[in-house]
Amino acid sequence: MVALAYALITVAMTYPVAFRLSSAVAGLEGEDALQYVWSLWWTKKALLDLHTSPADLTYLYHPTGAYHPMVAVTPYAEFLALPLVSLWGPVIAYNIEFLISFVLTGLTTYLFCYYLTGDKRASFVGGLIFAFFPNRTFHALGHLPQITTYWLPLYALFLFRLLRNPKRKNAFSCGILLALSLLVHIMHIAYFIIPFTLLFFLYYWVVDRRLMSPRFLKGFLMALLLAGLLTAPLFIPFVVAKFTGRLGYLRVGKTVKYSADLLAFFTPSAGHPVFDKIGAARRLRQQVLPFAPGPQDDETLVYVGFVALALGLWGSIKERKRGGLWIILGLTAALLSLGPFLKVGGKVMLLEIGGWRGGIPLPYGLVERLPFYEWGRTPARLTETTMFCLAILASYGLRALLASLKGQRAKTVLTLGLAIPLLFEYVVVFPFPTGDASVPPFYRGLGREEDYAILNIPLYQHYVSNVNMYYQTVHEHKIVGGYIHRVPADALPVARYLERLVDPFPQGDDIVAIPGGKEGLNILSRNQIRYVVLHPPFLKPQEADERASFLTDLLGEPVYADGSISVFLVPPSPGGSDAPAMALGENWYPLEDVEGTPFRWMSNEGTIYVNVASGGEYRLHFFAYPLGEARHLQVMVDGEPVGQFYVERFQGHVTKPFFVGGGEWGAIGFYVQEGCQRPNELFGGGGDFRCLSILFQSVDILPAQTGNEQ
């Protein structure tokens, strides 16, 4: 009956998702939900069709692909969806997982609260709080793993059972549930599992000596070992990649922006159908959440609700001893959710001491220095742990209120009288947004037998990237670009280079050549680009018209066009010469120009990706100039040295011959022996600091037999 009640409430709170399982995707149109629909499809495609790891992204970032361990480290939602995707496709699979996440989160929280309180009505309200609190419902607009939270209460439940009854079966169950919790989402590990487990041990080490009993410690170590054995095959490659420096792209800025505002705990959603029509509430919301003009409140929607808060405070008073852990953990998580600097009313509070003036520092500033936590730019998601604690304290509080009443009817009326306004407060937006799941007929008509790729214009715009990944679940061809859990650094350069080959707005010459016309089409063709697809709705009208006109002149009339896309066919043999392709990689500063001559500065090390039509021996020819003192410069091709140069004035250099395979992309690295490091970023900003080690005027690749060293 409890599960049925949560199911009915889920259908109502997320209406109309349950009635559009195959025709819509739960969440905002064009937003991150499409990435997770793609992820469900890709896991099935990689494992069952291609027999490879989902981390090997051969269908994104064409032609280089990318290895992205973040995709495979927490695969629970994708593995759960495998039979659903096989039967009904990724859209229905996504919507089913979306709906059951609410039902099962409510149910498992109910089970834990009932274990602690022994009161079914109070536990039911506790389940409502953790299943439907606004920050979680906001993430339901597009972040499936973030709302897959139903294993967390069960892990907590069996950790308590293990403490009270350290039998082997409880240790085994605790280990299994910990493993399942670890495999859902890396955010849950950082923001729930680790803080909860640490505080559990610290708290009970002080207040309950059973924690130090050999039987409990032995049981927990058994659970930990079991969880480690089950998850190690996925986590070890991820940890190795982190500590070998291959995951630096996961660190991005805006930590302060995505931290909770102190007043936001008392500010309801902008999309609430009633509260946002009340002038005072709307003004408060606009002040506290200035980044959210629409129904989505960004990451910073952390409203706790006054019904839940009142019940939680009453539970804290009536059950100070039993609720001690939850009071400390909840307040700690709330404090950490405020991020590295205190924000009040949408502004960072400033502190002035002597001549120094800066933000008021908070403990999260220390936490983000820990390994892995430097990637966590969304401290507001710690609200998950705060609301779990509040759900338990509210259960204690409601149990105390119910104990003062006589008669089952009075208790039921009080429970409903609190549950209904609680859910009303927790509405984030109504009706719940859904995105159209239709796909242009062109994609459904593409055969899957041939191996070719599609270049979408614009390439790296958030919405169009999501949409094209969703379309890929239907046409199943490789695409240039894509986005899932941030873009690997080595996946961008070649994709952006290919986009520039069909850009009607040339940026002028660069230190590497950007061929146009038939030479550019030759590069597209030898990289297996069959179609260039223009997306006018994602461009300004004038830009869309100019791009369409340019592509028509270059490729002919579109082979398909409707209101959403125009498709141009790349001829298989465009003609003209096969120019080499050279794409600038990492660590190059923006293009500069002096009297018509382009140049770029390189900081310590830089990468250029090279593609030639015919495999063979080549040399690299470049002009370089040191700033100030002379520099030692080493050139590497796919990790092998091909030249070391002493750059002391503006001059040309030529490497020794090296082999480049035809049609393949090779990486050429430039390494400065004496360089300097970039400074740490403050507030996630960039700044204009430069470590000007070497200036490059031009870089070119020549057949080895030319022998030109001038």
Token pair 């039967």: residue:
87
Q: Say if residue 251's pLDDT is above 90.
A: no
Least confident of 89-103, 347-361, 696-710: 696-710
Closest C-alpha to 461, from 520, 533, 535 = 535
What is the distance between the terminal CA atoms of the chain, rounded to a whole angstrom?
A: 84
Closest C-alpha to 7, from 100, 128, 81 = 100
Per-residue confidence band for 706, with pLDDT thresholds at 50, 70 and 90: low
CA-to-CA distance for 487 and 480, rounded, in angstroms? Answer: 12
Per-residue pLDDT, 507: 59
**Average pLDDT score over residue span 270-293:** 61
Who contacts 253 (Cβ-Cβ below 8 Å, separation ≥6)?
377, 681, 683, 684, 685, 686
Using alpha carbons only, give the angle 488, 57, 80 rounded to the nearest 5 degrees.
115
Structure tokens at 124: 């039911």
DSSP state of 55: T
What's the pLDDT tens digit per position in 626-658? 877 788 889 999 888 998 998 888 889 999 999
Structure tokens at 586: 């990492």
For residue 39, give the amino acid letter.
S
Per-residue confidence band for 45, with pLDDT thresholds at 50, 70 and 90: very high
Structure tokens at 145: 């793993």
Q: Say if residue 683's pLDDT is above 70.
A: no
Per-residue confidence band for 510, with pLDDT thresholds at 50, 70 and 90: confident
For residue 653, give the amino acid letter.
H
Q: Say if residue 550's pLDDT is above 50.
A: yes
**Average pLDDT score over residue span 27-34:** 91
Token pair 């011959």: residue:
657
Extended strands (E) in 458-540 = 478-480, 529-534
Per-residue pLDDT, 475: 95
Extended strands (E) in 318-408 = 343-344, 347-348, 350-353, 356-359
DSSP state of 416: H
Strand 616-626 and strand 658-660: the pairing is: antiparallel
What's the pLDDT tens digit per position in 307-354? 999 999 999 999 988 999 999 999 999 999 999 999 988 888 888 887
Per-residue confidence band for 509, with pLDDT thresholds at 50, 70 and 90: confident
Per-residue pLDDT, 690: 42
**Average pLDDT score over residue span 284-301:** 54
Who contacts 179 (Cβ-Cβ below 8 Å, separation ≥6)?
226, 227, 230, 231
Least confident of 239-253, 284-298, 597-611: 284-298
CA-to-CA distance for 682 and 386, rounded, in angstroms? Answer: 27
Q: Say if residue 288's pLDDT is above 60.
A: no
8 A C-beta contact, residue 499 and residue 461: no
Per-residue pLDDT, 710: 43
Per-residue pLDDT, 281: 56
Per-residue confidence band for 114, with pLDDT thresholds at 50, 70 and 90: very high
Q: Say if residue 613's pLDDT is above 70.
A: yes
Q: Residue 601 is inside which H or E element, if any? A: strand 597-602
Per-residue pLDDT, 577: 75
With pLDDT > 70 as the criterion, what percentage of the chain qualifies?
92
CA-to-CA distance for 250 and 375, rounded, in angstroms? Answer: 6
What's the pLDDT tens digit per position in 50-73? 999 999 999 999 999 999 988 999
Per-residue pLDDT, 292: 43
Counting every residue written for the chain, the total comes to 710
Work out the angle between the directed axes of helices 90-117 and 2-13 (0-180°, nearest 10): 130
Q: Say if residue 677's pLDDT is above 60.
A: no
- Specify which of 54-68, 97-111, 573-587, 671-685 reaches the highest per-range mean pLDDT: 97-111
8 A C-beta contact, residue 63 and residue 453: yes
Q: Say if residue 128's pLDDT is above 60.
A: yes
Half-sphere exposure of 192 (CA within 13 A, CB side): 28
Extended strands (E) in 314-417 = 343-344, 347-348, 350-353, 356-359
- Which one has a higher pLDDT value, 680 or 533? 533
Q: Which long-range contacts (CB under 8 A, 24 or more apart) does 211-220 make?
A: 211/163, 213/166, 215/166, 216/162, 216/163, 216/166, 218/166, 218/171, 219/162, 219/166, 219/167, 219/168, 219/170, 219/171, 219/174, 220/159, 220/162, 220/171, 220/174
pLDDT, mean over the chain: 88
8 A C-beta contact, residue 565 and residue 442: yes
Per-residue pLDDT, 150: 98
Per-residue pLDDT, 590: 87
8 A C-beta contact, residue 326 and residue 389: yes
Per-residue pLDDT, 515: 84
Work out the angle between the directed axes of helices 383-403 and 324-337 (0-180°, nearest 10): 150
8 A C-beta contact, residue 193 and residue 182: yes
Q: Say if residue 8's pLDDT is above 90.
A: yes
Per-residue pLDDT, 287: 55
Please tell me the pTM assigned to this model: 0.90
Q: Say if residue 478's pLDDT is above 70.
A: yes
Could you count the other beta carbons within 10 Å of the beta carbon of residue 209? 9
Per-residue confidence band for 485, with pLDDT thresholds at 50, 70 and 90: confident
**Average pLDDT score over residue span 21-38:** 94
> What is the secondary structure of 172-211 as a DSSP string?
HHHHHHHHHHHTT-HHHIIIIIHHHHHHHHHHHHHH-GGG
Per-residue confidence band for 298, with pLDDT thresholds at 50, 70 and 90: low
Extended strands (E) in 603-678 = 605-611, 616-626, 631-637, 640-647, 651-654, 658-660, 665-672
Q: Say if residue 355's pLDDT is above 80.
A: no
Buried b (16+ CB within 10 A) or exposed e, 38-58: bbbbbbbbbbeeeeebbbbbb
For residue 573, give the amino acid letter.
S
Q: Say if residue 691's pLDDT is above 60.
A: no
Chain centroid to Cα 382, Å, comes to 16
DSSP state of 115: H
